[in-house]
Structure 1
Amino acid sequence: MKIIKKFFSLVLAFSFMLTAMPVQAENADELPTPETKVFVWGKVEAVGTNRIQIINSTEAGNDCILNIGEDTVIIDALTGDPVELTSLKRLDRIAAYVSPIMTKSLPPITNASVVFVNVDKDYRVPRYIKAGEIIETEDEFVRVLSADQTLIATFMKEDTELFAYKTKNILGLDDIHQNDEFIVWYEVEMLSMPGQAVMVKAMKLPEKKQGWHLENDSWYYYRDGIKVIETWIASTGGRWYYVGIDGKMAVNTEVDGCAIDADGVYHSTAE
């Protein structure tokens, strides 16, 4: 009750303050990052090496395959404790925040950022947010606008349990920065635009890979820790590269009628 009273006091005070290729980018490291994650849920159909296939309740009768990378966070929805992929079983209920980019295959494949296990029958789970803007900072609280602009999250010095992923080290308000990512638990959300809530518990996620990375002699492109798949990527000087369904940069091949050389660079329409 104490935290709810504080929440509505803060909301009332703050309400007076409210009033053939992709788009070209100048540099691959500056490609726009999609802030909106897609929320999916369902029952596990199969678990493989770095993959989960679910019977996806987001759309009736639609299966979905989730790629699990080294930066994918898999946690217990109640406690926030890390969970091993191998512990999942067929028909377990899970929920996930995934990339909005999916393959055209059946079932579609996408990259998972966060996976929740130990999910109740109503699929009520914590929420993923990325700090888009630090709106207000005081000694007793920090207020953050999520990057997708759907939530104003208030972190309280005394009433929000703020800790780090895996280590569960206790953090303070000065550990909250723009572009940080969190899993958050809260009780009440004000039905405003954007919504507003006071965090009961918040887990800060580790920083994630960005840009090009060489792994096992192949190049991969990461955006917020997720491998980009099946898309063209622009680089400085107007060079174009393509990454396939496995995330690898294509070399010595042809894609969509475009010739790609040994360095992965698109040159001209293939003859």
Structure 2
Amino acid sequence: MKKKSLYIAGICAALSVGALGCASSAKAGDEETKPVVEDTEAAEETTAAETICVYGPVSEVTSDSVTIDNQSGISSAGEMVITFSPETPIFDAETGNPVDMTEAETGTVVYAYIGEAMTMSEPPITNGQLFFVHVTDVSAVPVYTEIESVKKSAENDDTVYVKAEDGVTYTISAETHILPYLTRNIVTADDLEAGKKCAIWADAEGKVSRLVLFQQ
């Protein structure tokens, strides 16, 4: 696959800022989803201990994969093919709405949480577990993580503190929009439990504006 030139003025500098947000959630993800690589003749698989977050500008989108120039400094650098299925969560990073991967235009940045295996082919191929597209502010990219613990405020108000798997603590308040993923079920802070996966939109202080909860 021939690598396309994607760079526009300033994109490399912006992506370097985004490395901080991506690295903070490197331990998050659904470890039960096992990557399936159909091109078994390309090479053998290598495994990683955990789900990781990679990102970079898009060079190609197909019906079941997206090719990015991985600039996260994590995993394989450069061109990477990340597969997905109709069930793979894909979010608009700004609105939090589910979107189709076709909305990821060439040259725009995509953040991807990838699975445990990757081919040794060129470019390498791996399975995506969740994507954020339409990233315009790389300093405030949402995270995909697992809840480690939940603690209610001592003031007996509506505040709840959620500690994520990567050790970051987020503040859930009455203003936080807590939504289920692709269901009409009503979810509240009472549904936040250790072991559940979620996508979190938060500010620099950890105050959460939106949380999408994945039901198990």
TM-score (norm 1): 0.54
Q: Which amino acid aligns with 1:200?
A: S
| Residue number in structure 2 paired with 1:152 | 169
Tell me what 1:175 maps to.
191
Letter in 2 for 1:147: E
Q: CA deviation at 1:67?
A: 1.3
Matched pairs, number: 167
Match of 1:93 among 104, 109, 125: 109
Task: Give distance in 1, aligned partners of 2:139 and 2:52.
Answer: 15
Whether the 8 Å CA contact 1:93–1:121 is kept in 2: the answer is: no
Task: Give structure 1 stretches of 5+ with no counterpart.
Answer: 1-28, 190-196, 208-271
The alignment's C-alpha RMSD in Å is 2.9
Are the structure 2 counterparts of residues 134 and 122 from structure 1 closer, same or farther at C-alpha, using a change threshold of 3 Å?
A: closer
Question: Is contact 1:155-1:198 (8 Å) kept?
Answer: yes
Distance 2:197 2:68 in 1: 25
Amino acid at match of 1:84: D
> TM-score scaled by structure 2?
0.66
Highest RCO, 1 vs 2 (Cα 8 Å, sep ≥ 6): 2
Q: Give the Cα separation in 2 of the matches to 1:66 and 1:87.
A: 16
Q: Indicate yes or no: 2:207 matched with 1:198.
A: yes
Once the 2 structures are TM-superposed, how far is the Cα of residue 57 of structure 1 from its aligned partner? 1.8
- Name the % identity: 27
Query: Do 1:71 and 1:113's aligned partners in 2 also have CA atoms closer than 8 Å?
Result: no
Alpha-carbon distance in structure 2 between the residues aligned to 1:53 and 1:75: 17
CA distance in structure 1 between the aligned counterparts of 2:138 and 2:215, rounded to whole angstroms? 29
Gaps of 5+ in 2: 1-31, 33-47
Distance 1:205 1:132 in 2: 14
Residues 131 and 37 from structure 1, CA distance in 2 versus in 1: closer, same or farther, beyond 3 angstroms?
A: same
Q: What SS does the aligned partner of 1:101 have?
A: strand
